[in-house]
């Protein structure tokens, strides 16, 4: 059984989708061990506490950038975390963590990477850009985390239609539904790979 940590800064709907997939048995070989946030008032932390999952708030604003990096890595190693899923985590992952968890940190992005990704492309900005480009189709991508934003190898994507008259909000809502189906499937691919390499 692999030990999963989810990093989330906000509402945590992808966290809930992953939690539900584990509970229902759709996502196998993993237990949700830790929810970590840089935002002490994140709904994701509330959800974790309500569901008896350890909820941890760590922020460089509290402990200072340098101490925070070490603190983060230690928190994961102390809990023997095998895999990290970013789900709306609004901080850059330190290089030290990427090096320690190479190919064990994944992220979800609300567009079909490599388009509409990179620094500054988050939240409704992504959907605004998709609409401005007149794309008939958008989607979601799960990828490994590397040093540059949204740059790591893509694990799985799913497409989602853009409808005439869509606003960033209506499109974002539709893409979020795609994300909730995609993330557990993509995690299963990563988990299966890690489990087979452990044997
Ligand atoms: C999602 O749209 C995800 O693609 C992006 O941040 C958002 C997080 O939403 N990285 P939630 O907190 O999981 O509801």
Using an 8 Å Cβ cutoff, are 194 and 104 in contact? yes
**Is residue 134 classed exposed, middle or buried when 0-12, 13-18 and 19+ CB atoms within 10 A define those classes?**
exposed
Within 13 Å of residue 105, how many CA atoms lie on the same side as its CB? 23
The average pLDDT across 56-74 equals: 89
Q: Residue for token digits 């940190």?
A: 105
The mean pLDDT of 62-68, rounded to a whole number, is 83
The closest alpha carbon to 127, from 163, 158, 180, 89, belongs to 163
pLDDT of residue 49: 98
Residue nearest to atom 5 of ligand 1 (CA): 88
Distance 168 CA to ligand 1 centre (A): 14
| Predicted local distance difference test score (pLDDT) of residue 125 | 97
199 pLDDT above the threshold of 70: no
The predicted-structure confidence for 102-135, as pLDDT tens digits, reads as follows 999 999 999 999 999 998 999 999 999 999 999 9
Lowest-confidence pick of 10-19, 46-55, 59-68, 128-137: 59-68
Q: pTM, whole model, 2 decimals?
A: 0.95
Q: Directed axis angle between helix 13-24 and helix 43-50, to 10°?
A: 30
What ligand 1 atom has the least distance to the C-alpha of 10?
A: 12
CA of 87 to the centre of ligand 1 (A): 5
């Amino acid at each position: 059984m692999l030990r999963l940590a989810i990093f989330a800064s906000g509402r945590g709907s992808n966290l809930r989708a992953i939690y539900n997939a584990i509970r229902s048995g759709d996502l196998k070989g993993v237990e949700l061990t830790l929810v970590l946030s840089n935002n002490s008032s994140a709904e994701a932390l509330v959800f974790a506490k309500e569901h008896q999952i350890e909820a941890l708030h760590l922020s460089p604003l509290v402990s200072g950038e340098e101490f925070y990096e070490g603190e983060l890595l230690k928190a994961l190693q102390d809990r023997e975390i095998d895999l990290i899923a970013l789900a709306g985590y609004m901080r850059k992952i330190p290089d030290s963590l990427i090096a320690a968890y190479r190919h064990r940190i994944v992220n979800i992005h609300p567009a079909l990477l490599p388009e509409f990704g990179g620094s500054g492309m988050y939240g409704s900005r992504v959907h605004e850009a998709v609409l401005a480009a007149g794309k008939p189709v958008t989607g979601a991508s799960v990828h490994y985390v590397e040093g540059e934003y949204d740059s790591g190898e893509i694990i799985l994507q799913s497409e989602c239609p853009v409808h005439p008259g869509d606003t960033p909000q209506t499109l974002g809502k539709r893409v979020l539904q795609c994300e909730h189906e995609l993330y557990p499937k993509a995690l299963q691919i990563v988990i299966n790979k890690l489990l087979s390499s452990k044997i």
